[in-house]
Structure 1
């Protein structure tokens, strides 16, 4: 915290979707969509959302909740449990590599 001419500056809070632990999920969502051969527009149509919503999820401008993750997986033709297991496996490997560094 610093003081300049009577104004107190505090560190700005980071939105949760911009936190380091969240960063791998948007990449994973994009990977699911691309593996399904879908454009952002195609996936948006399947989910009843605009293309910009898909973009914002994939670029971490918008946080995805579990119900949206389920719909995303189904729309990409993958069983949600299998998609989540795959994500967890990749995250576990990534976390293991981080600890070794």
Structure 2
């Protein structure tokens, strides 16, 4: 029983730190986008805002914008109501990033 409890305690310490090291999809995309302003601090901040405002699916969609910015413009110009709802949320996300991650 002591081994089980020790293992659980050890995992609870190790796993969160590994998750923080790995970063999220947006943080990784931001860092790999080869933009001059990209830094671990900035990209990590953007990821934190995304975690608080966007669903997993939305975060995956946004991370693709870093690699292919045209994708965001195509979505913005789309006539689909779901894309329009996402774009409004994405704009709100961008404004929050701008004010929070300076």
TM-score of the alignment, normalized to the shorter chain, above 0.5: no
Select the structure that is richer in strand: 1
Select the structure that is richer in helix: 2
Structure ranking higher on relative contact order (CA contacts 8 Å, 6+ apart): 2
What TM-score, normalized to structure 1? 0.28
